[in-house]
Structure 1
Amino acid sequence: MMRTDTHDAAALARGQTSELNSLGFPLAPADTRVVVAMSGGVDSSVVAALLKEQGYDVVGITLQLYDHGMAIQKKGACCAGQDIYDAAQVAERIGIPHYVLDYESRFRESVIDEFADSYIRGETPIPCVRCNQTVKFRDLLSTARDLGALCLATGHYVQRLMGADGAELHAGADPAKDQSYFLFGTNAEQLDFLRFPLGGQDKDQTRALAARYDLPVADKPDSQDICFVPSGKYVDLIERLRPGAAEPGEIVHIDGSVIGNHKGIIHYTIGQRRGIGVGGTGDPLYVVRLDPDKKQVVVGPYEAVKVKEIILRELNWLGSAAIPDHGIAVAVRVRSTRPPVAAMLFPGPEGAGSARVLVDSAEAGVSPGQACVLYEGSRVLGGGWIAATRSLYDVETSAA
């Protein structure tokens, strides 16, 4: 695509005003070009329609992220063939230009390959976060700039609020739809360029707007599955991408005794209780640790999956000041479905890019590869990927 940086200067020259528009620019909406990331779902479709109604110069972009021949048969999987078609239909209905960009190779390298490799390492990955970090908020953001846009708008339920030091990322107003956990990796430069028009409302209000705009996706259900695993059978995908990944091994109790065998660690997740493949041992057993080098699934009592200490890597810090050596009080989320819990945050053992979290009350089922997101009230202070944990069981055992 041809770069159109001159759009910015021309718009500012002819349309600058003394007041900020709803997107935060001193321009008339008509002189403010905004790219909307259109997934084909109701949320991003409403964003495009809403901004178009407000008079903005709206351009819609949909990403083709993978070979959607199989996924098109699965209702509710995002970015599949049907979703691309739906986005195009919405763009035509509201009268905006719409482009489909082939990002398959980028998505494969940044998201799908990392997803498979993470499972092989004994981790439990979150591909949606990786997608936001790389393909959407890095590559698509760059494309939006190339189109002369002043910002990129998405349908995420998070809020971008201005603070004393600039733009801040906050949880969505509706706790039931808040997506801040998945956007912890958004850095300050990206946040400056992003806009989230739905962050202050709930899904019912969005549905009502979709109906008022008579959008063809007004009743479309929300996506539930990982978009590139429409069947939900992620193990099949990993085995296809990484032949031999499901190597058998031993199921070992935390006391060192071998109590069974498994068909591959990719079939297990930290905190899992059902379907482990061992029984008759008395108290319930949970997956405590996965050891890819030894091909072992380590199991133990519930206390062994309750984590007290978490080490983070690839820390994205959005706080106003550096993390002090004596630590700061924060709230953390270690699962998207769990509420934040009180914790202390300290600099990490590997310097910049790492952090150490001490949870006030131990959290169960915390797995390497998952995200730990840091909050101060509704504000997202950032977060990182869980690299290692220390359980309450380990703490009590070492103390004894």
Structure 2
Amino acid sequence: MKSGEKSKLNSLGFAKPESETRVVVAMSGGVDSSVCAALLAQQGYDVVGVTLQLYDHGEAIQKAKACCAGQDIYDAQRVAEMMGFPHYVLDYESNFKESVIDDFADTYLQGATPIPCVRCNQTVKFRDLLQVAKDLDADCMATGHYIRRVEGPNGPELHRAHDGGKDQSYFLFATTKAQLDFLRFPLGAMDKSETRKLASEMGLNVASKPDSQDICFVPTGKYTDVIEKLRPEAATPGNIVHMDGTVLGTHRGVMYYTIGQRRGLGLPDGSGADPLFVVRIDADKGEVIVGPRKALERSQLWLTDINWIGQGEFGPELDGMAIKVKVRSTRPPAPAHLRLSGNHIIVELDTPDMGLSPGQACVFYANDDQAARTLGGGWITRTE
């Protein structure tokens, strides 16, 4: 190479041939991670596929099509065999149970609403599996998430996916700067339809496999089935109390209720002229507090465990900063402001929202028309 000549980077950002660039790909057995691995292998990278066995199907649930079930492991192995790269299955049941499943159950019992997919990315995948990738002397780890890693003037940035309907930035807000430096997301610029088309063109056995709609260890989306099995002693009855202090009835246990719930309260006829909603859960007192729909509105969110991947450090100089936030994965980013007062980190929503609960994530985005760059986020501990 001539003096001063800039090295040519491959598609993953390394100044060496694809064949000398080792990539560990996290493979769930679904179409996205399969296409991710197959594309990289097709491009000539030194691909190593890894699938995590995350739970004992019989211990907590039984669900044949969960993302980590036996069929999915088999599907990942088939893709690896077809594309000619090694594939390993690692037993991470104990890690997953401690970091994700137990946290899920305990958070519900505290009257909060957990997001286990964020915890899984934050711990098992981007902490434990990432370390495995480094132990395998990988240059990077790739996943099939729909999100974009963009090289900015001060290092890699996390941006929303090209396919807004599949964007997974909400679930990846806890990705640290160090992790982002090592991660790659080859599908971030694609539409889901394009991914399926590629799977079909490459002849992958998962081309028509349906997407997983539920949390992988929760059958048919019924969270209480899992909690009942993991914490059978936790179904403690208590009072359903109106915001004005009136006891309206009793409940089977706080774990059966979520903020914003209207149906299934089990209240006698005439409990209120207007429809009643769960507006708050007091797990310490064992009370479910109900009130009118208007009482669900919240404009201030108290946060903890902030992960900041924006410009500079997270500190007092950000007080008053205009940002956009997501408080649900399916909503577009909405205008808000950061407030930092002493040890308190507060997000003020420009427009009040409903049904927000402790335990949920509040994800920060740049305050521009596209709101593409993800700046991090935190966990909601309190709402007002």
In 2, Cα distance between equivalents of 1:130 and 1:341: 23
- Matched positions, count: 372
- Of the candidates 135, 138, 142, which is equivalent to residue 127 of structure 2? 138
- Of the candidates 47, 53, 56, which is equivalent to residue 58 of structure 1? 47
> Which deviates more from structure 2 when the two are superposed, residues 241-250 or residues 342-351?
342-351
In 2, Cα distance between equivalents of 1:335 and 1:385: 12
| 3-state SS in 2 of match to 1:338 | coil
Normalising by structure 2, we get a TM-score of: 0.94
Deviation at 1:81, TM superposition (A): 1.1
Tell me, yes or no, if the aligned pair for 1:65 and 1:102 is still in contact at 8 Å: yes
Matched, 1:246 2:235: yes
In 2, Cα distance between equivalents of 1:38 and 1:348: 43
Query: Deviations 1:162-218 (Å, cap 9, x if unpaired)?
Result: 111100001111111000000000000000000000000110000000001100011
Partner of 1:342: 335
In 1, Cα distance between equivalents of 2:28 and 2:58: 17
Partner of 2:346: 356
Tell me, yes or no, if the aligned pair for 1:333 and 1:340 is still in contact at 8 Å: yes
Deviation at 1:104, TM superposition (A): 0.5
Tell me, yes or no, if the aligned pair for 1:71 and 1:77 is still in contact at 8 Å: no
- Of the candidates 7, 10, 35, which is equivalent to residue 21 of structure 1? 10
Partner of 1:380: 374
Tell me, yes or no, if the aligned pair for 1:170 and 1:380 is still in contact at 8 Å: yes
Tell me, yes or no, if the aligned pair for 1:43 and 1:206 is still in contact at 8 Å: yes
Partner of 2:176: 187
Query: Deviations 1:234-270 (Å, cap 9, x if unpaired)?
Result: 2122122112211111000111111111111101100
In 1, Cα distance between equivalents of 2:143 and 2:331: 24
Deviation at 1:75, TM superposition (A): 5.0
Tell me, yes or no, if the aligned pair for 2:60 and 2:229 is still in contact at 8 Å: no
Moved over 3 A (4+): 69-76
1:130-209 paired onto structure 2 within 5 Å:
130-209=119-198
Matched, 1:96 2:90: no
- Of the candidates 77, 82, 86, which is equivalent to residue 75 of structure 2? 86
In 1, Cα distance between equivalents of 2:121 and 2:280: 28
Query: Deviations 1:283-329 (Å, cap 9, x if unpaired)?
Result: 11111100111100001111211111001111101111334254100
Q: Describe the shift of the 1:72–1:201 C-alpha distance in structure 2 as closer, same or farther (beyond 3 A).
A: farther
Q: Which amino acid aligns with 1:305?
A: L
| 3-state SS in 2 of match to 1:270 | coil
Tell me, yes or no, if the aligned pair for 2:325 and 2:363 is still in contact at 8 Å: yes
Q: Once the two structures are aligned, what percentage of the paired residues are identical?
A: 63
> Which deviates more from structure 2 when the two are superposed, residues 142-151 or residues 243-252?
243-252
Partner of 1:7: none
Deviation at 1:230, TM superposition (A): 2.4
1:153-302 paired onto structure 2 within 5 Å:
153-278=142-267, 279-280=269-270, 281-302=272-293
In 1, Cα distance between equivalents of 2:84 and 2:53: 21
Q: Which amino acid aligns with 1:383?
A: G
Partner of 1:370: 360
In 1, Cα distance between equivalents of 2:44 and 2:192: 23
In 2, Cα distance between equivalents of 1:328 and 1:173: 26
Tell me, yes or no, if the aligned pair for 2:95 and 2:124 is still in contact at 8 Å: yes
Query: Deviations 1:311-370 (Å, cap 9, x if unpaired)?
Result: 11111011113342541001111111111111001226526xxx2100011010001001
Matched, 1:315 2:301: no
| 3-state SS in 1 of match to 2:323 | strand
Deviation at 1:224, TM superposition (A): 1.0
Question: How well do the aligned residues superpose, as a CA RMSD in angstroms?
Answer: 1.6
In 2, Cα distance between equivalents of 1:108 and 1:294: 28
In 2, Cα distance between equivalents of 1:217 and 1:65: 20
Matched, 1:106 2:87: no
| 3-state SS in 1 of match to 2:75 | helix
Partner of 2:32: 43
Q: Describe the shift of the 1:325–1:221 C-alpha distance in structure 2 as closer, same or farther (beyond 3 A).
A: closer
| 3-state SS in 2 of match to 1:277 | coil
- Of the candidates 114, 127, 149, which is equivalent to residue 125 of structure 1? 114
Tell me, yes or no, if the aligned pair for 1:17 and 1:27 is still in contact at 8 Å: no
| 3-state SS in 2 of match to 1:244 | helix
In 2, Cα distance between equivalents of 1:179 and 1:31: 30
